[in-house]
Amino acid sequence: MFDVYVPSSFDDALKFLSREGHKTTIISHGTDLLPRIRAGELRPEVLLDLSGFDDLLRYIREDGECIRIGALTTVTDIYESPALNGPLEAFKHAAKKFGGPQIRNMATIGGNVGAASSSEDFIPILLALNAKAKLTSVNGDRILSIERLILDKGVIARRSNEIITEIFFKKPPENAWTAFDKIGRRNAMFIALVNMAVYLHVENGRIKDVRIALNRVKRKIPERAYETEKFLKGKIFTNEVLEGAKEVLERELKLTSDFRASAEYRVEVQKALLKRLLTYCYNKIRRVKVE
């Protein structure tokens, strides 16, 4: 069906892509790719196997103001990382509800971003953190925000000679927190009907900064809810403001129904998630005990 190219070194992988990139599909751990090939959705000619580059691309590093995550870092690595705790708790929230344990041991963050669909749970978190991707080719590194990287369902702004090698973002400042949740039909092994990630920064009770990303806003890919963010920014964090934000979100969302769920249902759940996640972050920032 397809050929696999096993590169002898990372350099070799980059050279291979610069020659054969136009007909090559990258494979990390295959949890997204292989089921889709099997279902006949994709018919790749050649797969470039990255799975041998653990030593190079599997890490979570604190680097001054930044956190850097190598593309081959697995969901289990993320779940167990002390660096992705506290204010970056959204990662744990997503990792905990991600597939089952075996999938978590395999699924990589590079593959999550590469798959680029509304069922990829790390994308909203990375959007809420204003994260960037490092794309590496024989010509060197190129940096692109996750927002600009994700173009459409399953389509990313990667040039055919590039590999996503790293995801990085700034550590949240004091008085900021992140949270994530997803809702599906059962408690394990499910594709999110809706998911949401929020980043909240509050000073003296006032919302200094807020970023909200959902698996669907206007299109069928994860996006930011900019209007809702704008409404919230600068306001004092009160219940009334949260209720107001829910209305803005409802107006902002342009969802369509599909076989998984109706648009009406999705909107109601997103509104509830918005309030729940913002409140969670707010309480964490104020060090109120929350479960």
Partner 1 sequence: MSKHFITLKVNGKEYNIYVNSDDRLIDVLRDKLGLKSVKEGCGTGDCGLCTVLVNGVPVLSCLTLAVQARNKEILTLEGLGSEEKLHPIQEAFREAHAVQCGFCTPAMILIAKALLDRNQNPSYDEIREAISGTLCRCTGYYGVVEAIKLASERMKNEG
Token pair for 151 = 């173009």
Minimum Å gap between C-beta 156 and partner 1 is 21
Cα dihedral value 283, 284, 285, 289, nearest 10: 70
Interacting positions 137-176 with ligand FAD (CB under 6 A):
158, 163-164
Among 10, 15, 30, 138, binds partner 1 (CB under 8 A): 30
| Interaction between residue 194 and partner 1 (CB under 8 A) | no
Integer Cα distance of 197 and 215 in angstroms? 9
Among 38, 153, 170, 206, binds partner 1 (CB under 8 A): 38
47-66 footprint of partner 1 as x/- string (CB under 8 A): x-x-xx--------------
* Residue 163, strand partner residues: 136
Interacting positions 176-205 with ligand FAD (CB under 6 A):
189
| Interaction between residue 82 and partner 1 (CB under 8 A) | no
Minimum Å gap between C-beta 250 and ligand FAD is 25
Integer Cα distance of 159 and 153 in angstroms? 16
| Interaction between residue 32 and ligand FAD (CB under 6 A) | yes
Sign for the pseudo-dihedral over CA of 88, 195, 153, 57: positive
- β-pairing verdict for 223-224 and 60-63: unpaired
Residue type, 189: M
Integer Cα distance of 14 and 11 in angstroms? 5
Among 13, 14, 17, 26, binds ligand FAD (CB under 6 A): 26
Query: Which residues make up the interface to partner 1 (CB under 8 A)?
Result: 1-6, 27, 29-31, 34-35, 38-39, 47, 49, 51-52, 76, 99-103, 105-106, 188-189
